[in-house]
Amino acid sequence: MDIKLEKATKDFLLNPENELLTEFKTKAPGTFKHCEEVANLCEKIGRELKLDTEFLKILGLYHDIGKMFAPKYYSENQPKDFNIHDALSPEVSAHFIISHVANSIAILTTRVPNINLDLLKCISQHHGNSLMKLFLNKIEDEDEREEREAEFRYPYAKPDNVYACILMIVDIVEAKIRSIKATTPDADIANLIRGVMSQLTEETNIDELTIKQGRIITETLMTEYNVADHKRVSYESK
């Protein structure tokens, strides 16, 4: 994948004080912190794979920026012991969650001059066409679930390049690890990472990765989450 990101665009997107990131941090602080972590991990993986680390960092920082349109619908921005989806129908919940991808693309397209199309494509693919089983399974009737499955599926292509694959993997791993207890044993974290890689492989979401690339990504994530002095900090206390 030949990345051609104009210098002025890249400099703007990497500036931590730019207007977009400032607004993002204010409106959706939990999502912003998630994106910072994803960007950091993507950059480290890119370094190991000798890829464009700046492009990967940008993907991490902005892949969920569309969540600032309606931050309360995403768990990382919700107060403890409150979930707005408990009061919503499954299809409405799915609509809000799925819409963040289109919203992210819309923000970048309208507010960043000369935005790179490869960047937009990678962001559009970071959930692929995955199914929102959490909400779909709230529909009790099995036949109805089967008939309405399309309403609960992201309407995008699966990752077709290594950058989009990395973004998908790291996004899932970071969110899952952030949601578990800080005292979770390292062995369980390792199994979680392997489980994500295995599931995405089975679902043919990361077919663009070579076996070697998949191994390096797994090893890098293991290192980041299992070093002796690593402490996982909750969004609230960070």
Interior angle at CA 134, CA 224 and CA 151, nearest 5: 115
Summary count for the chain: helices (H), strands (E):
11, 0
Pick the CATH number of 7-226 from 3.30.70, 1.10.3210, 3.10.20, 3.30.2310: 1.10.3210
Residue 127 has pLDDT above 80, yes or no: yes
CA–CA separation, 191 vs 92, rounded Å?
Answer: 33
Residue 1 has pLDDT above 60, yes or no: yes
pLDDT tens digits, one per residue of 59-72: 999 999 999 999 99
Q: Per-domain residue ranges for the chain?
A: 7-226
Q: Largest Cα–Cα distance of the chain, in whole Å?
A: 53
CA–CA separation, 126 vs 188, rounded Å?
Answer: 25
Angstrom CA distances, 9 to 4, 59, 115, stand at 10, 13, 7
pLDDT tens digits, one per residue of 193-223: 999 999 999 999 999 999 999 999 999 999 9
| pLDDT at position 186 | 82
Quick check: 217 and 45 in contact, CB under 8 A?
yes
